[in-house]
A and B are shown apart, each in its own frame.
Chain A
């Protein structure tokens, strides 16, 4: 006598594993950044009168960095648009992914140019507390941006070849949104 058990219903994840894994990573990274911003905020607030902005040190180029900020926010918006098109199966999604990637590269490039200018004006990692915090916080963000761009570049390549990997795309997207959304917080807290 043999009995056949009914096959268990197929299980479908409610969220792609790449997204969930990236989200967990993003939570830890968010706390890392908030810790750094917290230290900066308290240090700035506790500076003795007349010592902030730091005398003899260049002011951070808040106006010029607004351009970088717009480029990064636009990149995030385009990637969001590509997600909508990708879900509908529209091939045009690849154009938006490519544009988002290029704007991300532009952001990192402009940041590098800004750093070169500040270094030439004497703001270094050890020149003042402002310099130390600035390069540590903004540099850490830049490292995240570069890491995310490497993955986003791979996603872009896959899209251009017409063979996008949905799991990689959603995971890269989640991380890029983190890079995009963390930046305005850093920009407002550090540059002003």
Chain B
């Protein structure tokens, strides 16, 4: 019984939501999945890069201040 039901469902994939993140059920889900993947991938790089750059700027400014006396 399960196999025929699955075979029938495969004929109408747009109506089948196998999972919430596979990206085939709805266009909105796919967009959310891709957007969140991008955010989760890029955000840590941005945060750590931002802190590193800020520390570099502070360090450079402190060095210049010491040179001036």
Contacts and interface: CB of A to CB of B under 8 A. Distances in A.
Contact of B28 (A15, A20, A23, A45): A45
A14 B59 CA distance: 6
Nearest to A49: B26
Nearest to B60: A14
B20 A27 contact: no
Contacts of A30: 43, 47
B17 A48 contact: yes
A42 B20 contact: yes
Interface residues of A, number: 19
Contacts of B62: 12, 14
B40 A38 contact: yes
Contact of A46 (B32, B44, B66): B32
B40 A27 contact: no
A34 B59 CA distance: 30
Contacts of A140: none
Contact of B39 (A23, A38, A46): A38
Nearest to B36: A38
Given A27-B51, A38-B39, A45 B44 contact: no
Given A30-B43, A35-B40, A45 B26 contact: yes
Contacts of B9: none
Interface in A34-71: 34-35, 38, 41-46, 48
Interface in B16-61: 17, 20-21, 25-26, 28-29, 31-33, 35-36, 39-40, 43-44, 47-48, 51, 55, 58-59, 61
Residue of B20, B39, B43, B55 with highest tally of chain A CB at under 10 A = B20
A31 interface: yes
Interface of A: 9, 12, 14-15, 20, 23, 27, 30-31, 34-35, 38, 41-46, 48
Interface of B: 17, 20-21, 25-26, 28-29, 31-33, 35-36, 39-40, 43-44, 47-48, 51, 55, 58-59, 61-62, 66
